[in-house]
Amino acid sequence: MPIETVGVVGAGQMGSGIAQVMALADYEVILMDVSPAGLEAAVAGIAANMDRQVSRGKLAEPAKVQAIGRIRTTVQLGELGTSDLIVEAATEKEAVKHQIFHDLRPHLKPETILTSNTSSISITLLAARTERPEQFMGLHFMNPVPIMQLVELIRGIATSEATFSAVCSVVERLGKTAIVAADFPAFIVNRVLMPMINEAIFVLHEGVGSVVDIDQSMKLGANHPMGPLELADFIGLDTCLSIMQVLYEGLADSKYRPCPLLVKYVEAGWVGRKVGRGFYDYRSEPPVPTR
């Protein structure tokens, strides 16, 4: 089935990024969120990102205008039902995702493919709660979506070859590189990345090193572009905790136990850049460590 229209659920950092790259690849996009203010901010952010691309000579002004014109917004989930492909990019909570797919059910056309941008939750489990598991799979973009080249493709146990091929074609049209991951907790990228971040938080928790020293160690000693605590703030500590919980519960291995300090930061609401405080306080420039 040719895919020309894409519905995106969630206008946060991931959803707006997905909408941006889809529109630039000539897809007609419907971006849905329950918050009108969130949708307004998302469209403004997309326009600002494209303006930066234009200023750097990476995007022509007419192409930018056309891409913005391909994105429309709605607060009504049912309006996404006519899309050829739907990408769920809501918060990393299983119950929320189940509810979204349940509420979409009566509005979908028979051929619509459903995907989730989940970074850790079982695709088979999400698909089983829909009436079309053969037309469901994982489509996990990396953050920030417009910059990162990798996309993880995850088949559930029932995903059809036709569905997989159609979604592969979308990734190719976006100009990104796809890798295929088996449907195990956190897939490939976060199965490797999140335990490293969690261990860095343990190092801080145990007093082995300071926030700055831990990040400097990995940037200068391992050539990482961002330190693990800085990266955790960028991802969102709430998302990091959710992924570690999925790993811990799904694999029943104590090495995936979330660090108690990570739990405390999330309890405090200090979940990173998006709220102005995490392992760094972003209300000052440059950001200063909070511990």
Burial of 270 (C-beta count, 10 Å sphere; 0-12/13-18/19+): buried
CA 205, 211, 213, 217 dihedral sign is positive
Dist. CA 132–CA 113, nearest whole Å: 9
Structure tokens at 167: 């979604």
Cα dist from 262 to 92, 102, 228, whole Å: 16, 32, 13
- Burial pattern 196-206, b for ≥16 Cβ within 10 A else e, equals ebbebbbbbee
Burial of 115 (C-beta count, 10 Å sphere; 0-12/13-18/19+): buried
The residues carrying an active-site annotation are 119, 140, 152, 190
User: C-alpha angle with apex 177: 176 to 182, nearest 5 degrees?
Assistant: 130
Dist. CA 46–CA 146, nearest whole Å: 10
